[in-house]
Chain A
């Protein structure tokens, strides 16, 4: 940290007023201690010995003085490392590379330039602002470079954004030279050039021109963070892209993101470069179906137009149209289209087409599978399409052979533009019963043809072929030949396109070729020849494509600026100020103009005296000081309150003369309070969770409502324990030991099932309990009310328990009730039973009437069957309560009822699904 200076040093004079403040504040009394005192009745009119106030206690005084001093110093604006103003007096000339390599650290650059302008502003120097990105003639004419006032220049600087171009230093140099002529005193200016860190052509000459204006400072952060994406050489057609960087120091790792035209993110592929590497190729590895949908490939997180690659038709997979004669059989293995499809489908988009529509189908490759005679207009259209760049691949076969034969018979031998070489009529068969010749192997691939780098397959035999007319034309067109020299594949370029012919069909009947791997390679080489993409426009026409969306320097696609004109396909190769990178043309098949051209080089700047941007800004101490003063004043308020509060009791405990000691004690207490307060606040944010609820939340438990009658509670607990054990043994539900709850105080939300033994003398539930219970039922809980009085209440007679239950229910918001209907989910949620058996069974059990409420799951079951009594067992497994009618069987049935009830509590209406009806019917019938 450097020397400390003040922005407003005059304010410090106010510090001299502090002693006066001291006197003033001494006089401000602390609030009086408030005391209740009946003796006040006889105190009216007593004379106060001194009207003037008691002294402010010294800790408060010090606190306030400190706060005042902090405010004064803070307002005076202490700054460390403040720039030394006034070293240079001439105008400031800021040159900023507003190019895409500058985008990744644009903020640093702009801040650095801003700092320079702020200095100039403080010194009142004029400023010039010049950018180096290429400009159109119109832009260059309107762009002003100054002189501005420094504050004006700052505003202009704030409006600058990186452009998606590289710096054009030649153009910029012209403007610098023009500026040099304007400048009153050339050589006196303070020139600062904020470069993008890349080596641009003409940089030396530009700097030369700058130094004519004055001393030049060149800033640059190297080329750290500059990344560019370019498509890799795609001989194999895979969607591979290269990440390049000019600065190979340090390792880099990131990811490539491919986005579809509709904005979907298609894939994210990690990529990494070790230190020293400046290029890495990454295969997007996209599923084929998605490859054509890729619109942009960008480096994740890289904010630069160079890190975005826009894909246009030429980057997409070839679209292959397969035209087949109608006579193909149903058997796929005998169909040529099948073999073509199998060979190409990983590499191309394939679709069936009819011959009269291939040129309108956006196909880049058309495969005619044994198509013989064509209508003249189809042939003309196809020829035009080939000459525009299409690749026509034909497979010979019986149909073609017959057509050629017919043509020859008519005396018009094969001058067919859609055949690479004239054919002879008929075909040739080897190895037949009447033939001396054996099937031939493929001997060689022509070094001039597209298959030059393939090696002939050793085990492929050709048994039949269609022959070409021997001659020079045929020899020149031969791309692959058999051992005896006859062509098996011929091909020629026609216009921009290619016509190729396999002299055998795409089925294995004539040759083994379609079964061999080399067949795939050959077809892929052929499709790669296509110059056409979908709706290709490289036909040299002047068709103009209006800008669709353009990239800005940060690599964000946006609406095109208004001054961007339409482009032609030929111009789509490289970006220029009048055609910024972006998509042009129709939205469904746009042409892409990319930021980084194919021949563009990325190299770090060769200037050796680059200064970094990141010079530390001056440290301002003012704001923190003011904050500290505020905090002190807050403490002061607190302490003042504390004084008034604490005094009287203390005063009683001590002799009246102990005032200073008290002041110290209060100061200490105040400090302790200040430290303790945050901890307290934290504690209140995390409201404590009831231990019981936490316990119940960790383990599933059945719960019962404590009635207050110890015997009833014991029985309920034993009953639920036995039921829990049964559930544990027989179902996948494994409850922990049951627990007694009080709905008024315990959190019911952690229990799924509540057993409520209703006793005659239980206290009425509190309103909180009622509310908690309603919430419990509303949010999926199940309450089982048990009045345990069935044997005492034949025919629904009113018992004290029933009266009590009625009192509870009148307070509860209960749904309409109905006696348990036949086939209710409670009778089949686990066991198939007829009724909810308990220890007794005299009156019906009531549940929620059918309806939509609560998903038609009953939130409560009401009965008097003493279920707990029926379930309860002691530690050795003996029943605790004598059973009603039915003996052990009844006990078992009541346990089953209990299991069903708990299952409903847990699974709801799951089992009322009609899916089980047939099985249920079957089982019911069997019984």
Chain B
């Protein structure tokens, strides 16, 4: 248990480190929004109003004033301005070349890097999901990764199965002006993702679809008698001559990519693609640019 936990933590640290390095290269120059924040604690005092529970009264603060009672109020529930969702399915835990980066890892790094950029700009970051919360402060990136489930997918049985599509946080008004990053390979569940994205867009968010793919998925380098299988699929597919289906596959692949772009265009969002054998920085820059248009509004 503890070993697992340590491994998980070290995976997170590695992702965070990589994301930091990436973000450091990208963030400089274009955002330019350094804010002297009010501190690390996000709370305020306001005057006591009828109906507030007495347990909320900050007696120490109230004692300073002669005749006022202050209520200690947590600004915890304030709207986050960067939301990320990364496809939790096992499909992402894949790299054709075992030594290469898996899709999941690259997706995590990109999400984290984007989150870091926004966190550095003093904005809140969060992960879309059933219990989505905006995070801020120094520990925010780490908690962001935790919420993202980094490393969790690599331990069997701990994969979150529920989230097939991003679930928006409660309340439609909260996402006004928020940036949403949706990362997946879009091999399955495009419809569900599109529905969610529509909800998000209707509550005011703008976002980016990032389609992340392994080079093998794009190039289809197989030939000869080949049996294809994948986790979560009951029956493998066997082709006598894999080379013969390559063209058809590529056509389907391109069609799928076009559909994602179409959905994005319909929502006024941006669709980006990324191959795991390519460097992440340009993609991150494009990502930041696409989200930053809106962020810098």
Contacts and interface: CB of A to CB of B under 8 A. Distances in A.
Interface of A: 29-44, 46-54, 647-648, 651-652, 656, 659
Contacts of B258: none
B240 interface: yes
B221 A39 contact: no
A91 B76 CA distance: 117
Contacts of A53: 225, 240
Nearest to B218: A39
Interface string B224-235: 111111110100
A651 B227 contact: no
B228 A47 contact: no
A46 B228 CA distance: 12
A33 B97 contact: no
A43 B241 CA distance: 14
B240 A41 contact: no
Contact of B239 (A34, A39, A48, A651): A48
Given A37-B230, A46-B237, 8 more contacts: A32-B226, A37-B216, A38-B230, A43-B252, A48-B239, A48-B241, A53-B240, A647-B224
B94 interface: yes
A54 B225 CA distance: 7
A43 B249 contact: yes
Given A35-B226, A37-B228, A47 B248 contact: yes
Given A41-B230, A42-B253, A651 B224 contact: yes
A651 B219 CA distance: 14
B256 interface: yes
B91 interface: yes
Contact of A36 (B94, B223, B245): B94
Interface centre among B185, B214, B231, B237 (most CB of A within 10 A): B237
Contacts of A40: 228-230, 233, 236-237
B221 to A, nearest CB: 6
B224 A38 contact: no
A52 B240 contact: yes
Contacts of B244: 48-50
A830 B229 CA distance: 75
Contact of B243 (A44, A51, A656): A656
Interface string B90-119: 011010110000010000000000000000
A483 B230 CA distance: 127
Contacts of A39: 187, 216-217, 220, 228, 249, 253
Contacts of B221: 651-652, 656
Contacts of A47: 245, 248
Interface of B: 91-92, 94, 96-97, 103, 185, 187-188, 214, 216-217, 220-231, 233, 236-241, 243-245, 248-249, 252-253, 256
Contacts of A50: 240-241, 244
B70 to A, nearest CB: 50
Contact of B240 (A35, A51, A648): A51
Contacts of A656: 221, 223, 243
B244 to A, nearest CB: 3
Contacts of B245: 43, 46-49
Given A49-B244, A49-B245, A32 B238 contact: yes
A46 B224 contact: no
B97 A652 contact: yes
Nearest to A53: B240
A30 B240 CA distance: 10
Contacts of B231: 36
Contacts of B225: 29-33, 53-54
Nearest to B239: A48
6 contacts: A35-B226, A38-B103, A40-B236, A50-B240, A52-B240, A651-B224
B256 A54 contact: no
Contacts of A36: 94, 228-231
Contacts of A35: 222, 226-229
A46 B252 CA distance: 10
A29 B94 contact: no
A43 B223 contact: no
A54 B224 contact: yes
B227 to A, nearest CB: 4
Given A39-B249, A652-B96, A32 B227 contact: yes
B7 to A, nearest CB: 21
Nearest to B222: A35
Contact of A41 (B103, B188, B214): B188
Contacts of A648: 222, 226
A33 B226 contact: yes
A262 to B, nearest CB: 72
Contacts of A659: 224
B91 A54 contact: no
Contact of A42 (B97, B214, B243, B256): B256
A41 B233 contact: yes
A41 B91 contact: yes
Contacts of B233: 40-41
A38 B215 CA distance: 12
A924 to B, nearest CB: 60
Contact of A38 (B94, B222, B223, B237): B94
B243 A43 contact: no
A682 B99 CA distance: 34
A46 B239 contact: yes
Nearest to B90: A38
A696 to B, nearest CB: 33
Contacts of A31: 225
A317 to B, nearest CB: 87
Given A46-B248, A46-B249, A47-B248, A37 B229 contact: yes
A571 B217 CA distance: 105
A42 B224 CA distance: 19
Contacts of A52: 240
A42 B245 CA distance: 12
B276 to A, nearest CB: 12
Nearest to B89: A38
B240 A29 contact: yes
A49 B247 CA distance: 11
B78 to A, nearest CB: 38
A652 B238 CA distance: 19
A417 B248 CA distance: 134
In this complex, the member of A33, A37, A50, A51 whose beta carbon has the largest number of chain B beta carbons within 10 angstroms is A37
A459 B140 CA distance: 132
Count chain B CB atoms within 10 A of each CB in A29, A46, A47, A651 and give the residue with the most. A46
A26 to B, nearest CB: 14
Contacts of B216: 37, 39
Contacts of B222: 35, 37, 648, 651
Contacts of B239: 46, 48
A36 to B, nearest CB: 6
A415 to B, nearest CB: 120
Contacts of A44: 237
A35 to B, nearest CB: 6
A513 B56 CA distance: 142
A51 B233 CA distance: 23
A35 B237 CA distance: 10
Given A38-B94, A41-B91, A54 B227 contact: no
